[in-house]
Chains A and B, each alone.
Chain A
Amino acid sequence: MVAVERLVQAYRAFAGNGASGAPAWLKELRDGGIARFGSLGFPTTKQEAWRFTSVAALTETAFKLAHPVSRIPQLAEIQPFLLGDGPRLVFVNGFLQRSISTPFFDGVRLDGLAQALVDTPDLVRQHLGKYAGADRPFAALNTAFVRDGAFVHVAARHKVEEPIQLLFLTAPSTDGARLVAHPRNLIVLEREARATIVETYATLGDGVHWTNAVTEVVAGDGARVDCYRVQRESDRAYHVAVTDVHQGRDTTVNVHAVSFGAALARHDLRGTLAGPGGYLILNGLYLLAGEQHADHHTAIDHAAPHCESHEYFNGVLDGRSRGIFNGRIIVRPGAQKTDSKQTNNNLLLSRDAHADSQPQLEIYADDVKCTHGSTVGPLDPKALFYLESRGIGEVEARRLMTYGFAAEILNRMDVAPLRAQLDGIVRARLAE
């Protein structure tokens, strides 16, 4: 395969050049990544997990490994993506921009992964690549190109009050080259630590680029982490991402994932409840229009007893867009008293929009409670009449109901400035 070979060549250049100073263990990790990607290749629609999503566009386009930008964006340029003055790391084309970031080291280590590899290599080594499954080709590819990304480490019992923002921007190349960035994020909360992380992916301007992101989240025993993920890249961008969350005992993890942008977006989101008493919420929204295609593959792995998971994903699809939701719930043998609920509702705003919803329950324990439900359809005419009968005109009634469909997901979010930012995006999209 030409496309795979092209990436292997790019890897050789990368490994022999910019990444040559890496410690042996990291070189090994990267070599393993490219070898794995080489043998897996790009996924095809013949594979079950990629049945509805073709990555032909990625194989047909020659992407160039993104390099650090020569011009660092001004704060004013990135303001629309920021959530006030809280702690943040800003990455452009995959590289940390220290001048517009606020790294800090007080109870929490917030820094670029590249710097963390120098400062605290053992801590990085202990976790990096331990959770994001190597069975997935794009995660393997990301591992091959591991270089920079966000590193968040919260010490035991430390509570970070303010949300930490991780902003990933791509600045399209001035020479017309199509760039690919492989941001790699590692978020580690030691026991009973607490933090809120907001990951935002956006494009500076408009252009074709590819983001291949991997985020690993580790919640130590008794920790609580709220992860927000917003993908609002250019509608010509390609976005492939893997998020893997690993939960210890008595942990609470809320993952909110919102997808507004990209021509093609694929997000594999996996939560592993590895210790008893774990609680996990996956709360997601995809708002698509035009020719957009978004595919969310989620998996909740109940590997321990007495855990609870709730999953809510809503899709709003207009134009000729397509939304795919696959929700897998695995209840391992011995994971008794599991309580798991999943819902996926899709609102079709046009005849040409399309949604596929696939729940996938694999239950190997007998004393469990698992429910799932999904809907695909247009706005409910009964509800429409109800609103009209209160004096609200048809256009406004439709907008209100559509907004409500999205707001149902946004209403579960606790970070007020983010909630307001997303609310603004949703309202602007509905006003179009």
Chain B
Amino acid sequence: MLEVRGLHVAVGGTEILRGVDLTVKAGEVHAIMGPNGSGKSTLTQVLAGHPAYTVTAGTATYEGKDLLALKPEERAREGLFLAFQYPVEIRGITNSYFLRSAVNAVRKHRGQEELDPLDFLQVLEEKLKAIGWDDTLMNRPVNEGFSGGEKKRNEILQLAVLEPKLALLDETDSGLDIDALKTVANAVNKLRAPERSFVIVTHYQRLLNFITPDMVHVLADGRIVKSGGPDLAHELEAKGYDWLRAGAMVS
């Protein structure tokens, strides 16, 4: 699904990622943990194609294609999805209009017929039902005046509707109280599928109490310094990140 090799990334002349290697197979859930400023968010933004980041070395292959050669919208149409840490407000555009535009962009790319508002409403209702949510967010302008929890829920809702093959979740748990966290985690669990992979970036272990990953990686100072099974998350919760960082600098 995704193969990242020796990825170096800079923003404004400062190198943030310094040789990241990551392999994600179909259906797997990978968690990327690490201290603030370690480059976790940068990794997801680069994979989604944010123009502010410059890849200085390395490769990223997605489903056999050179991911880095694709424009952000092309990546999305190929099935990549980024749940933003800070979802952006789009004034004047309702959530349902926005989502329909996105769904139709993907459908057009696949040579499928575009959905009219009524068809889309039907699809939307099915997706909402599948994750057990209502449509209260749908007729409000995208993220405008949303609470932190609503914004994060809205990202997962988009994930559910757009049905990506690879979903990157950037600190989806940050700013959520425990109930909101459970709601979001349950929805993600329902969206897990054999052909769908997840890369979940988080600072805290608590999200992983509800979503069990196949692999846990620790990103520190721009490199993955340790990888392991789900237990690694518990170890990190107990010991913090410093022991790994020091090790990274010695090696």
Contact = CB atoms under 8 A, between A and B. Distances in A.
Contacts, number: 82
Contacts of B64: none
A397 B90 CA distance: 10
B101 A389 contact: no
A16 interface: no
B102 interface: yes
A403 B90 contact: no
Contacts of B84: 386, 389
A396 B90 contact: no
Given A387-B90, A391-B106, A400-B101, 10 more contacts: A389-B72, A389-B75, A390-B76, A390-B101, A390-B105, A391-B109, A391-B162, A393-B73, A407-B92, A409-B92
Contacts of B81: 389
B48 A407 contact: no
Contacts of B93: 400-401, 403-404, 407
Contact of B90 (A381, A391, A404): A404
Nearest to B77: A391
B101 A396 contact: yes
A78 interface: no
A397 B48 CA distance: 16
Interface residues of B, number: 29
Contact of B102 (A381, A382, A391, A411): A391
B91 A386 contact: no
A416 to B, nearest CB: 16
B73 A391 contact: yes
Interface in B99-123: 101-102, 105-106, 109
5 contacts: A389-B82, A391-B102, A391-B105, A392-B105, A409-B92
Interface of A: 380-383, 385-394, 396-397, 400-401, 403-409, 411
B71 interface: yes
B156 to A, nearest CB: 14
Interface centre among A382, A385, A408, A409 (most CB of B within 10 A): A385
A386 B101 CA distance: 13
A290 to B, nearest CB: 23
A154 B10 CA distance: 68
Which of B51, B89, B90: most chain A Cβ within 10 A?
B90
Given A380-B88, A406-B92, A392 B141 contact: no
A130 to B, nearest CB: 38
Nearest to B78: A391
Nearest to A392: B105
B76 A405 contact: no
A386 B88 contact: yes
Interface in B105-154: 105-106, 109, 141
Residue in B88, B158, B162 whose Cβ sees the most chain A Cβ within 10 Å: B88
A389 B48 contact: yes
A411 B94 CA distance: 10
B91 A388 contact: no
A397 B75 CA distance: 15
